[in-house]
């Protein structure tokens, strides 16, 4: 199987877990025993994404068919698509998104699990990340109570502001600009 497809499906496995089972994300799978669970997670993730595409009125079937009909995309001359075998991608889509049986699977779930496990090895312990407060800027005030200086570590400058202190119209403006469906999904 192509390395790019292994990476695509390992990424899809991570996103599928976050989108469908955010409180039960696994960072290690057994190459043999967990293939069925990984297949179910990929199917659940695809179902979740299809619902998102339906909301946005994107016809995924038509998008895939158009990509397969594009000689530049299929031939690999386009740098954006280099290394992707669209026929294998479509076969995997049929398996995980349409729940079809295929004679020769395009994705070796054992390879996907191996890549996922290797990529997740260096991640910090997720139990320690829950509730973690990142360092913020320290504001030094002068004797009059006015700002004198800010002290912070490089790339760690943050100022904590309670949500209640942010005007409602500012909150709504950010949501409208960033993600109009913010309250309809779990963050992905």
pLDDT digits (tens, 9 = 90+) for 97-148: 888 888 888 889 999 999 999 998 888 776 777 777 766 777 788 888 888 8
pLDDT digits (tens, 9 = 90+) for 31-72: 999 999 999 999 999 888 878 766 555 666 677 777 667 666
Considering the entire predicted model, what is its pTM?
A: 0.61
pLDDT digits (tens, 9 = 90+) for 135-174: 677 778 888 888 888 777 666 666 678 888 888 888 888 8
What DSSP assignment string belongs to the chain? --HHHHHHHHHHHHHHHHHH-GGG--S---TTTTHHHHHHHHHHHHHHHHHHHHHTT--HHHHHHHHHH-HHHHHT-SGGGTT--HHHHHHHHHHHTS----SS-S--HHHHHHHHHHHHTTSPPHHHHTTPPPP-PEEEE-TTS-EEEEE--TT-------GGGS-HHHHHHHHHHH-TTGGGSS--
Rounded CA-CA distance 112/34 in Å is: 11
């Amino acid at each position: 199987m192509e390395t790019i497809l292994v990476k695509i499906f390992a990424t899809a496995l991570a996103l599928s877990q976050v989108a469908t089972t955010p409180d039960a994300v696994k960072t290690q799978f057994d190459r043999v025993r967990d293939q069925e669970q990984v297949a179910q997670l990929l199917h659940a993730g695809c179902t979740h994404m299809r619902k998102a595409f339906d909301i946005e009125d994107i016809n995924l079937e038509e998008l895939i068919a158009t990509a397969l009909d594009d000689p530049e995309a299929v031939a690999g001359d386009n740098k954006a698509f280099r290394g992707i075998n669209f026929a294998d991608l479509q076969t995997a889509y049929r398996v995980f998104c349409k729940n079809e049986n295929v004679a020769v699977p395009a994705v070796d779930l054992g390879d996907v699990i191996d890549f996922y496990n290797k990529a997740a090895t260096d991640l910090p312990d997720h139990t320690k990340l829950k509730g973690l407060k990142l360092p913020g800027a320290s504001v030094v005030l002068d004797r009059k109570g006015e700002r004198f200086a800010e002290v912070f570590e490089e790339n760690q400058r943050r100022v904590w502001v309670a949500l209640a202190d942010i005007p409602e119209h500012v909150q709504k403006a950010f949501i409208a600009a960033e993600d109009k469906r913010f309250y309809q999904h779990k963050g992905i």
